[in-house]
Amino acid sequence: MNDNMIVKGYKGIMDLDLSSIDPKFHKEMIQQHNKDIDEYKRDQRQRPAKLRYENAINNAYKILEMGRKAAENMRLERERLQKQKDDHRYDIFKRIQEQKKRGNI
């Protein structure tokens, strides 16, 4: 995709892709896109802080990050417990091998 055919969006407004639009409409489309962005900014300023897009998205990202960290902690805990069990089994195995060498078994 050609980058000069993409007009950047703003936070809650996606980029405008002009690649499939007839070039005679580009100027009008860009003007409308910029008008939409201005209207969006005005709307966001009028909203209470907790209802603004950026705050809602940041909150969602925080929740996702907390979930990712919790999953990572659970994975690490499972690995720690598995290693502990493996070490215990290995100790038992070594004791059995030593007893076999001594002829106790």
Tell whether pTM > 0.75.
no
Whether the per-residue pLDDT at 1 is higher than 70: the answer is: no
Looking at residue 61, what is its pLDDT? 92
Whether the per-residue pLDDT at 14 is higher than 80: the answer is: yes
Q: What pLDDT, in 10s, does the model give residues 21-69?
A: 999 999 999 999 999 999 999 999 999 998 999 888 888 999 999 999 9
CA–CA separation, 40 vs 37, rounded Å? 5
Structure tokens at 27: 């100027």
* SS (HEC) of 23-92: HHHHHHHHHHHHHHHHHHHHHHHHCCHHHCHHHHHHHHHHHHHHHHHHHHHHHHHHHHHHHHHHHHHHHH
